[in-house]
Structure 1
Amino acid sequence: MKKQTSLLVASRNHHNLQLIAQLLIQEGYPILTADSLEEFEQALRHSAQISLAIVDICSLDSRICEWLRHEAIPILMLSNQSGSTDWQFTLIAGAADHRIKPIGKTELLTRVSSILKHRAKFELEKARDNRLLKAAPDLQKSNPKVDDLVFRDALTGIANRHHFEEILEREWRRAAREARFLSLIMINLDFFKDFKDTYGLQRGDYCLREVAKALSAAVKRCGDVVARYGGEEFVTLLPDTNRSGAIVVAEAMRLNVADVNISYANSPIGDRVTISLGVATLIPERNSTPQALIAEAQKMLSVAKEEGSDRFKIYPISG
């Protein structure tokens, strides 16, 4: 066998289930299959050995997504038709990718390989961070710069700008090489200077921590990154995400922050803390730099602010 972990294929359509499973078996992937919720539950007893779930959206039960998210297993969703509803549902469900049936052998194998490689990189980085934390407990207590070593923002606990820029550079090269979409969201708290002047620095820090949690809750896939970019500005990187998918995440972030309901009595636009977002989506060109993506997202953020805040704007405007 080429692979050490198993892929889980789930569909109530027995023909589709066997067809997909057979293609993967021919490539050396160990396979688990499920054509009912009962079989799915049984398969998840071996969740530690499952590296990817391929799920027919027509067979989807909301519990399946909850179970997979709980076990941190990435999902490749398959659906019968293209459309914003299916795409939005798969992103909210936490899918790593979404394809339209019928899916050819080459495309299926390419998507599976890409997701598995992305997960392997993520797990490697997580293991590296854990090793750094365990290797330097005394340094962590005595040296405030240890946060730079583990790539975390000291206040919010999410990725810091340095770590984000490293990941962006890597994902940019990969997207250019594979001609894949890459989306980036710049996020800024509205009128935050006045908020701190009104409520003080301690309340301001609390606000930043809660916003960071709300933003992080809006991204579901292991490869998505939310980072603090500086001050009251945050950034989110969404690999393999097109314009429609980025819109779903941006709106989920805006609503999540509103739902935190942090009081802001003298806000010019309401009575609670809000955010504005600039979104950019493109397929990187070879020999280009990620600054193009950042610049477009920042431009869209400025437009959102100019148009009244508490909203997102996206580049390109259409398409």
Structure 2
Amino acid sequence: MIYSFRNSSFRDPETGVYNQNYFMEVFNREWHRHLREKQSLALLYLCPHIHETVKQPHLLELFTNQVEEALLRATDLIARLDTNHFALGLFNVDDEGTKVVLQRIDEQINQFLANHAKDHKFTIDYKVAAGVCQPNKNLNIEKLFVDVEQLSSALDNTHDDQHHKMIRVQ
């Protein structure tokens, strides 16, 4: 991706998705709106392990563009947290809606593999941890992030074919 000074305050220069600061600002604002309106939301951590991004850094941008297509609503966000983790914010969504997005993420990643793996000779292993909750006065935003991060770590340490897991945070 060509770096743009116009987007430097809220976009990750390598992938083009939102950066962590912007994501946290928007997620916090949405948390408080969902608290007032008694709506549920979801936080997802995506951990892709693309083993050829060092030799071919453009693959990460192509990957995030493909995953972003799984988010059909303009209000949903994807952001880069660090070199190995992306956060997705799904707003005004319940358990079933989150499961649909998880399925669409699987489909988009499979399409990414079909389009690019044969040309670039790489493998990908990914895990998605999802936490769904309805904000309330007894639940703080930090608990959601801690619970999803713990689930992500546990899921990332498993060596089975399970790509995602979802919890209800209360």
Measured against the shorter chain, the TM-score band is: 0.7 to 0.9
Partner of 1:40: none
Two-structure CA RMSD over aligned residues (Å): 2.3
Equivalent position SS for 1:215: helix
Identify if the C-alpha distance between structure 1 residues 200 and 168 changes in structure 2 by more than 3 Å, giving closer, same or farther.
Answer: closer
Superposition deviation, residue 273 in structure 1:
1.5
Q: Is contact 1:159-1:226 (8 Å) kept?
A: yes
Which runs of no fewer than 5 residues in structure 1 stay unpaired? Answer: 1-138, 141-145, 265-270
Match of 1:238 among 90, 93, 97: 90
Q: Is contact 1:276-1:301 (8 Å) kept?
A: yes
Superposition deviation, residue 263 in structure 1:
3.1
Match of 2:34 among 164, 171, 175: 175
Q: TM-score, normalised by structure 1?
A: 0.46
Partner of 1:263: 117
Following the alignment from structure 1 to structure 2, what is the Cα–Cα distance between the partners of residues 200 and 292? Answer: 32
Partner of 2:156: 305
TM-superposition CA deviations, 1:50-93 (whole Å, max 9, x none): xxxxxxxxxxxxxxxxxxxxxxxxxxxxxxxxxxxxxxxxxxxx
Partner of 1:220: 72
* Rg larger for: 1
Identify if the C-alpha distance between structure 1 residues 310 and 153 changes in structure 2 by more than 3 Å, giving closer, same or farther.
Answer: farther
Match of 1:289 among 115, 140, 144: 140
Provide runs of 4+ in structure 1 moved above 3 Å.
Answer: none
Following the alignment from structure 1 to structure 2, what is the Cα–Cα distance between the partners of residues 186 and 304? Answer: 11
Q: TM-score, normalised by structure 2?
A: 0.83
Equivalent position SS for 2:47: strand
Q: Which amino acid aligns with 1:181?
A: S
Following the alignment from structure 1 to structure 2, what is the Cα–Cα distance between the partners of residues 272 and 233? Answer: 17
Following the alignment from structure 2 to structure 1, what is the Cα–Cα distance between the partners of residues 155 and 103? Answer: 13
Determine which structure has greater relative contact order: mean sequence separation of CA pairs < 8 Å that are 6+ residues apart, divided by chain length: 2
Equivalent position SS for 2:16: coil
Identify if the C-alpha distance between structure 1 residues 202 and 171 changes in structure 2 by more than 3 Å, giving closer, same or farther.
Answer: same
Q: Is contact 1:214-1:260 (8 Å) kept?
A: yes
Superposition deviation, residue 258 in structure 1:
2.1
Superposition deviation, residue 248 in structure 1:
1.1
Superposition deviation, residue 316 in structure 1:
2.5
Q: Is contact 2:71-2:101 (8 Å) kept?
A: yes
Partner of 1:208: 60
Following the alignment from structure 1 to structure 2, what is the Cα–Cα distance between the partners of residues 200 and 239? Answer: 31
Which has the larger share of helix?
A: 1
Q: Which amino acid aligns with 1:236?
A: L
TM-superposition CA deviations, 1:234-284 (whole Å, max 9, x none): 1110110011111111121122112211439xxxxxx73132100000011
Identify if the C-alpha distance between structure 1 residues 234 and 310 changes in structure 2 by more than 3 Å, giving closer, same or farther.
Answer: farther
Identify if the C-alpha distance between structure 1 residues 214 and 295 changes in structure 2 by more than 3 Å, giving closer, same or farther.
Answer: same
Alignment of 1:186 onto 2:45: yes
Following the alignment from structure 2 to structure 1, what is the Cα–Cα distance between the partners of residues 140 and 43? Answer: 14
